[in-house]
Amino acid sequence: MPVPLFDTSTPLAPLREEIDARIAAVIDRGVFILGPEVAAFERELAAYLGAEHAVGVANGTDAITLALRAMGVGPGDEVVVPSFTFYASAEAIPLTGARPVFCDVDPGTFCVTADTVRAALTPRTKAVIAVHLFGNVAPVAEIEALGVPVLEDAAQAAGSRSPEGRPGALGTAATFSFFPSKNLGCFGDGGAVTTSDAGLAERVRMLRFHGSRDKRTFELVGHNSRLDDLQAGILRVLLPHLDGWCDGRRAAAAAYERAGLGELVELPRAAGDPAWHLYVIRHAAADALAQRLGAAGIGSKAYYRVPAHRQPAMRQWGAGVDLPATEEAARTHLAIPMSPVLSEAQARQVVEAVRDSLTARQ
C-alpha cells in the first residue's frame, strides 16, 4: 500500500456532519464577513494558545505583513529572517517597506538560534522573525534577550509546545496560516495574528479592515485581509481536535525512531515539544532517495531546495549572503510521510523503503 506524504482527509472524516452543520448555520445566518464565528474563533484560539488576543486575517502571509506593520516596521528598517523557510516569511518584509536581512539556522532543528540572529543584527534592526519551522520551537526568549522584538512565524507550529508556553504566545506577536495542509487547516486560505499587546492587536484589527475602525473614517492605509466567517466556523469545529492530532504526529515520529530510521538518515532534532507539521530528514543523496521512495509508493518532498535569499525576487537583499547551514539543509532535506493518522505499520514500511533505497544505491 502506498504511504502518502500527508493525509488531511482521514482525520476530518469523523467530523464531516459537524462541519456540514456549521457551514449550513453560517449560510442560514447570512453574515459572512467579520461575524460571530470569527469573533468566537479569535477568543477560542487566543485561549488555546495562552495569548490575550487573536485577530483573524486572510492568510498567513498577510498575517506577517500586518503584524510587522503593527509593530511599527516600515521603510528604513531591517527585519532579520531565516532563509531556510517558506518564501512568504521573507516576502512579507519588503511589503512593509523594510529590508529583509537573512540569517542562518541550526541544521539539526532547522530553526534560527540566538547566535545566528546576533550575526545579522545592525542598529537598523527593528524586529526578528523567528520561524518555528516544521513544528520545531525556535528559542524566542533567547532571541528577545538580544534586545529585539520577536515576531513568531508559527504557520507550521499550531499544536507545538515548549516549557515557556505555546508558539503563538512566546514573542511580541505571532502569525498563523490555516492553509488546508497545516496542522490546523481550514477549507481555503486563512490566517491569524496573536499577541498579548492590546495596542498591537487593535492596530492589526484596523489594518485588516482598510485602516478603519468603523468603515467611515480611514486612519491608516490598510489592507482588505479578513478571515471569512465560514472558515472561522470550520476552524472552531477543528480546534478542539488539534491536540489529539498533534499527539498522533508525535506518535508517528516516535515510531520512525523505534523502527531505526536514525541509523539510515539524519533525524530532525526536536526543539521544545514539536507537533511535527512536517517530518524532515537529511541525507547527502536526498533527491536520489526521493526518487526511489517514489518508485516504492512512498511520498516525499524537498520543500526548500532554493532557500529564500537565493530566490530571484530577493536578489537585491540576498546577493552575497553566506549561510552555510542553510545551504546544507537546502541540499539535503527531505520531508517523509507525516500525519495525525500515520500508523506504526506505515512508519515501519517507510523505514524499510528508506533502507532498501539506500542499499540499492550502493
Ligand X SMILES: Cc1ncc(COP(=O)(O)O)c(C=O)c1O
For residues 185 and 179, give the distance between their C-alpha atoms in angstroms, rounded to a whole number.
Answer: 5
Smallest separation, CB 355 to ligand X (Å): 30
Judged by CB under 6 A, does residue 136 bind ligand X?
A: no
Judged by CB under 6 A, does residue 171 bind ligand X?
A: no
Smallest separation, CB 343 to ligand X (Å): 26
- Angle, alpha carbons 7-8-13 (nearest 5°): 110
Question: Among 7-15, 152-160, 219-227, 350-358, which window interacts with ligand X (CB under 6 A)?
Answer: 152-160
Judged by CB under 6 A, does residue 83 bind ligand X?
A: no
Judged by CB under 6 A, does residue 339 bind ligand X?
A: no
Q: Which residue in the set 85, 125, 172, 332 belongs to the binding site for ligand X (CB under 6 A)?
A: 85
Judged by CB under 6 A, does residue 177 bind ligand X?
A: yes
Smallest separation, CB 85 to ligand X (Å): 5
Judged by CB under 6 A, does residue 89 bind ligand X?
A: yes
Q: Which residue in the set 127, 130, 131, 201 belongs to the binding site for ligand X (CB under 6 A)?
A: 131
Q: Measured from the CB atom, is 275 or 354 closer to ligand X?
A: 275
Smallest separation, CB 244 to ligand X (Å): 22
Q: Measured from the CB atom, is 157 or 351 closer to ligand X?
A: 157
Q: Measured from the CB atom, is 177 or 339 closer to ligand X?
A: 177
Q: Measured from the CB atom, is 189 or 357 closer to ligand X?
A: 189
Q: Which residue in the set 41, 48, 84, 86 belongs to the binding site for ligand X (CB under 6 A)?
A: 86
SS (H, E, C) the chain: CCECCCCCHHHHHHHHHHHHHHHHHHHHHCCCECCHHHHHHHHHHHHHHCCCEEEEECCHHHHHHHHHHHCCCCCCCEEEEECCCCCHHHHCCHHHCCEEEEECCCCCCCCCCHHHHHCCCCCCEEEEEEECHHHCCCCHHHHHCCCCCEEEECCCCCCCECCCCCCCCCCCEEEEECCCCCCCCCCCCCEEEEECCHHHHHHHHHHCECCECCCCCECCCCCECCCEHHHHHHHHHHHHHHHHHHHHHHHHHHHHHHCCHHHCCECCCCCCECCCCCEEEECCCHHHHHHHHHHCCECCECCCCCCHHHCHHHHHHHCCCCCHHHHHHHHHEEEECCCCCCCHHHHHHHHHHHHHHHHHHC
Judged by CB under 6 A, does residue 100 bind ligand X?
A: no
Query: Residue with CB nearest ligand X?
Result: 60
Question: Among 16-24, 75-83, 99-107, 148-156, which window interacts with ligand X (CB under 6 A)?
Answer: 148-156
Q: Measured from the CB atom, is 227 or 255 closer to ligand X?
A: 227
Smallest separation, CB 78 to ligand X (Å): 19
C-alpha cell at 325: 547551514
Smallest separation, CB 201 to ligand X (Å): 19
Question: Among 69-77, 83-91, 196-204, 279-287, which window interacts with ligand X (CB under 6 A)?
Answer: 83-91
Q: Which residue in the set 88, 98, 151, 173 belongs to the binding site for ligand X (CB under 6 A)?
A: 88
Give the number of other CB atoms < 10 A from CB of residue 288: 14
For residues 249 and 251, give the distance between their C-alpha atoms in angstroms, rounded to a whole number.
Answer: 5
Judged by CB under 6 A, does residue 155 bind ligand X?
A: yes
Question: Are 135 and 160 in contact, with CB atoms under 8 Å apart?
Answer: yes
With 0-12 / 13-18 / 19 or more C-beta atoms within 10 angstroms meaning exposed / middle / buried, residue 354 is buried
Judged by CB under 6 A, does residue 84 bind ligand X?
A: no
Task: Describe the crossing of helices 344-361 and 286-295 by its angle, rounded to 10 degrees.
Answer: 120
Binding string, residues 46-75; x marks residues near ligand X by CB under 6 A: -------------xxx--------------
Q: Measured from the CB atom, is 61 or 116 closer to ligand X?
A: 61
Judged by CB under 6 A, does residue 326 bind ligand X?
A: no
Residues lying near ligand X in the complex (CB under 6 A): 59-61, 85-86, 88-89, 131, 153, 155-156, 177, 179, 189, 191
